Amino acid sequence: MFEAYLIPIRYAILTFPIAAFVITLPFLIVQYRKYGYLHKFRAVIIYSLLLYLMTALYLVILPLPATRNTCAAVQGAMASFVPFRFVYDFWKETGVHFAQPSTYVQLFKERAFWQAAFNVLLLVPLGAYLRYYFRFRLPAAAVSAFGLSLFFEVTQVTGLYGIYDCPYRLFDVDDLLLNTSGGVIGYLAAPLLMKLLPRIEGLDENVDLKSERVGLTRRLIAVQLDAMLLFPLVVFFMKSADLRIYFITSFLYFIALPYATNGWTFGKYIVRIRVKGQGERIRLKELLIRYGSLYGIVGGLNAVILSQTVQKLPPILFALCAMIVLLVNLVFAVHVGLRLFRKDKTLIYEKWSGTGHEVV
């Protein structure tokens, strides 16, 4: 009997890395935007919540039918709206007699008991998460548990929202009651767990954002967001191979814009960092050296190799230009890679320009 519960857990563990990869970028953006930095314990809580929710979902929907045509297997009604029916069925079908305590041990041998128990336990962790991390009050936690349970039941009764021709599991109001009760129990029991864990509201105490080091991961996210914003212009450049588009865009977005906003671009604004120079306000000279080196030399060479002029060169000259660009890219990649493993993560163009990043 317990094997049926272990299979979904295994699938959850196997597919968790994929789900974790998908949510990592949004998670980091929210953390940087909301708190100004990433707290490792907060990350552990969120990813453990993700693993728990995946496990709960798999426990509800697995095993899947072998065929999409499930209508032939459906026998009788696929919904039960009579509350506490499981109690009546339990006392009717099992060997337990209320007046004979000696028969109570039979509870642990009955499938009906374990099915009801697991329905309660399914959302106990949710109640604990809602109280400890999200700071929900009891009514909100109960409604949330009911909502998640309702989502599970609807998922089943709709045959995974139309993937299967007919429902392959019963929509049972008792499941809603048991799941919601489990969420409430988890909420009420959460203080026992909270004594062992740090206070969520105290994680950010004594954190000086000005002293927080801006890591390369955070900077990479800002670059990704900037690239998403500029993607239409990148496509236009790739089609036209007009160098003017690249250099004008680079100057306006990475030099003129940060100069006007004192270090901001769209991506940097989202993750709450800005480019800073030697003074209170970033200077145009600092930006010209910083981004002239990065987007003028490194990025510029890559843009040139894609331009119409270079592509029309004789094959031997084009190959020579391509080798030069490849060498520059390799040197820059090695430089960035080495900085990842050093305490001083200042990149070469930052040293030349005397600029860096700060959390705001």
Q: What is the pLDDT of residue 56?
A: 94
Tokens matching residue 358: 């700060």
| Pairing assessment for the beta strands 79-80 and 171-172 based on DSSP bridges | parallel
Checking if the pLDDT of 278 tops 80, the result is: yes
* 8 A C-beta contact, residue 80 and residue 170: yes
pTM reported for the whole predicted model: 0.81
Q: What is the pLDDT of residue 91?
A: 66
**Residue linked to tokens 């250099």:** 247
- Average confidence score pLDDT of the chain: 87
Checking if the pLDDT of 51 tops 90, the result is: yes
Q: What is the pLDDT of residue 102?
A: 60
Provide the pLDDT confidence category of residue 232 given band limits of 50, 70 and 90: very high
Q: What is the pLDDT of residue 83?
A: 77
Q: What is the pLDDT of residue 171?
A: 84
As a whole number, mean pLDDT of residues 113-134 equals 91
Provide the pLDDT confidence category of residue 8 given band limits of 50, 70 and 90: confident
As a whole number, mean pLDDT of residues 270-288 equals 94
Higher pLDDT, 56 or 214: 56
281's CB contacts (< 8 A; 6+ apart) are 262
Q: What is the pLDDT of residue 106?
A: 66
* 8 A C-beta contact, residue 112 and residue 89: yes
Checking if the pLDDT of 105 tops 90, the result is: no
Q: Residues 170, 172, 178, 179: is their CA dihedral positive or negative?
A: positive
Convert the chain into a string of H (helix), E (strand) and C (coil): CCHHHHHHHHHHHHHHHHHHHHHHHHHHHHHHHHHCCCCHHHHHHHHHHHHHHHHHHHHHHCCCCCCCCCHHHCCCCCEECCCCHHHHHHHHHCCCCCCCHHHHHHHHHCHHHHHHHHHHHCCHHHHHHHHHCCCCCHHHHHHHHHHHHHHHHHHHHCHHHHCCCCCCCCEEHHHHHHHHHHHHHHHHHHHHHHCCCCCHHHCCCCCCHHHCCCCHHHHHHHHHHHHHHHHHHHHHHHHHCCHHHHHHHHHHHHHHHHHHHCCCCHHHHHCCEEEECCCCCCCHHHHHHHHHHHHHHHHHHHHHHCCHHHHCCCHHHHHHHHHHHHHHHHHHHHHHHHHHCCCCCCCHHHHHHCCEEEEC
Q: What is the pLDDT of residue 330?
A: 94
Percentage of residues in the chain having pLDDT higher than 90: 50
As a whole number, mean pLDDT of residues 88-92 equals 68
Higher pLDDT, 38 or 78: 38
Phi, psi (5° rounding) for residue 180?
A: -65, -40
Provide the pLDDT confidence category of residue 74 given band limits of 50, 70 and 90: low
Provide the pLDDT confidence category of residue 217 given band limits of 50, 70 and 90: confident
- Over the stretch 126-176, which tens digit does the pLDDT of each residue have? 999 999 999 999 999 999 999 999 999 999 888 888 888 888 788 888 899
Provide the pLDDT confidence category of residue 305 given band limits of 50, 70 and 90: confident
Percentage of residues in the chain having pLDDT higher than 70: 90
